């Protein structure tokens, strides 16, 4: 398998035109296939239905017998309560996720360039050692990490989380950029070298201008994973200075099960990443591919 070139969904997932004639067997088989596809579609969407419907139910409407019915009357109290709890956290999450994604994308781009196109002895070993950091369970570093961050004087909450997402994002961002740059023709780089351009010149005038697709993929990836992170948030923040996952779990795990507020909260907390997915879906899938299909 060759290295993923341009990381968009269409590049990897779209059927080739000539394949359309291979529509696989009889009409019965085709019908069966669609029946299955639609069945699974409904299964996948089932939780979304529950989230949506329950979020609009009033407190009295939550009896088990009406669990799967539409609301008796569409109430927005749950949404109001959820917004009250989550809105400060949403703002904090944005202020954490945006700088974290941008910084780690820049680091990843420089590393990827060096490891793909301006290599040094042992570059492959270095790359493999970096990659290992992507897979470790963070539980294996968490206790000294808490102490290290205290010693460095990084305050809990947003600042800590920015540092952590940048540092632990290095392996994946490096991987995506490295795979992307591997598809850039080496002649282009060599030509610049022959013309006497140094490494930084080559990087800034040749490589960086064609990096936009990889930047989009990496930014989406980092945005999503930092937004959805709970583990670091739990160790390095609380519901007063932490991101939205902390506030959502706080809202949802209260003693009084306010299902409409919890479900509205889950929708609110997921909206930014869902929007990114809907609008930039093909790049999102590209990130998934670039992060795994390699070598």
Residues numbered 206 to 245 that lie near another protein (CB under 8 A) are 224, 227-231, 234-235, 245
First to last CA, the chain: 7
Closer residue to another protein, CB minimum distance, 73 or 204: 204
Closer residue to another protein, CB minimum distance, 173 or 241: 173
Binds another protein (CB under 8 A): choice among 40, 80, 204, 254: 40
Minimum separation from the CB atom of position 212 to another protein (A):
20
| Cα 60 off chain centre by | 37
Asked if 67 touches another protein (CB under 8 A), the answer is yes
- Two tokens at 121? 């002895």
Binds another protein (CB under 8 A): choice among 5, 6, 50, 98: 50
Closer residue to another protein, CB minimum distance, 86 or 158: 86
Minimum separation from the CB atom of position 294 to another protein (A):
6
Minimum separation from the CB atom of position 74 to another protein (A):
19
3-class SS string, the chain:
CCCCCCCCHHHHHCCCHHHHHCCCCCHHHHHHHHHHHHHHHHHHHHHHHHHHHHHCCCHHHCCHHHCCCCCCCCCCHHHHHHHHHHHHHHHHHHHHHHHHHHHHHHHHHHHHHHHHHCCCCCHHHHHHHHHHHHHCCHHHCHHHHHHHHHHHCCCCCHHHHHHHHHHHHHHHHHHHHHHHHHCCCHHHHHHHHHCCCCHHHHHHHHHHHHCHHHHHHHHHHHHHHHHHCCHHHHHHCCCCCCCHHHHHHHHHCCCCCCHHHHHHHHHHHHHHHHHHHHHCHHHHHHHHHHCCCCC
Alpha carbon distance 112, 3 (integer Å): 14
Name the one range near another protein by CB under 8 A: 1-9, 94-102, 154-162, 207-215: 1-9
Minimum separation from the CB atom of position 210 to another protein (A):
18
Asked if 191 touches another protein (CB under 8 A), the answer is no
Alpha carbon distance 51, 263 (integer Å): 5
Under rule CB under 8 A, which residues in 2-31 are in contact with another protein?
2, 9, 12-16, 18-20, 22-24
Q: Applying CB under 8 A, what is the total number of residues that bind another protein?
A: 107
Binds another protein (CB under 8 A): choice among 170, 184, 197, 208: 170
Name the one range near another protein by CB under 8 A: 33-41, 70-78, 95-103, 210-218: 33-41
Under rule CB under 8 A, which residues in 103-162 are in contact with another protein?
107, 110-111, 113-115, 118-121, 123-126, 128-133, 135-145, 148
Alpha carbon distance 144, 65 (integer Å): 50
Minimum separation from the CB atom of position 179 to another protein (A):
11
Asked if 256 touches another protein (CB under 8 A), the answer is no
Minimum separation from the CB atom of position 284 to another protein (A):
7
Asked if 284 touches another protein (CB under 8 A), the answer is yes
């Amino acid at each position: 398998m060759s290295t993923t070139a341009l990381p968009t969904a269409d590049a990897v997932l779209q059927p080739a035109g000539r394949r359309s004639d291979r529509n696989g067997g009889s009409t019965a088989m085709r019908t069966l296939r669609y029946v299955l596809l639609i069945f699974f579609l409904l299964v996948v969407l089932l939780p979304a239905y529950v989230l949506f419907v329950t979020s609009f139910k009033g407190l009295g409407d939550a009896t088990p017998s009406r669990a799967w019915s539409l609301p008796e009357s569409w109430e927005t109290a749950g949404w109001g309560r959820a917004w009250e709890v989550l809105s400060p956290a949403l703002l904090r999450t944005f202020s954490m996720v945006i700088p974290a994604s941008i910084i780690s994308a820049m680091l990843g781009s420089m590393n990827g360039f060096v490891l793909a196109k301006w290599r040094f002895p042992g570059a492959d070993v270095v790359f493999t050692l970096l990659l290992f950091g992507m897979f470790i369970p963070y539980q294996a570093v968490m206790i000294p990490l808490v102490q290290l961050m205290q010693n460095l004087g990084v305050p809990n909450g947003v600042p800590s989380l920015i540092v952590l997402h940048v540092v632990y994002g290095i392996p994946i961002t490096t991987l995506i950029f490295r795979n992307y740059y591997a598809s850039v023709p080496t002649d282009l780089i060599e030509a610049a070298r022959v013309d006497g351009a140094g490494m930084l010149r080559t990087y800034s005038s040749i490589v960086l201008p064609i990096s936009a697709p990889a930047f989009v993929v990496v930014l989406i990836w980092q945005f999503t994973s930092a937004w959805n992170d709970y583990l670091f948030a739990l160790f390095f923040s609380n519901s007063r200075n932490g991101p939205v996952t902390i506030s959502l779990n706080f809202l949802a795990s209260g003693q009084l099960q306010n299902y409409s507020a919890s479900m509205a909260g889950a929708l609110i907390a997921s909206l930014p990443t869902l929007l990114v997915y809907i609008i930039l879906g093909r790049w999102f899938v590209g990130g998934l591919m670039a992060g795994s299909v390699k070598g």
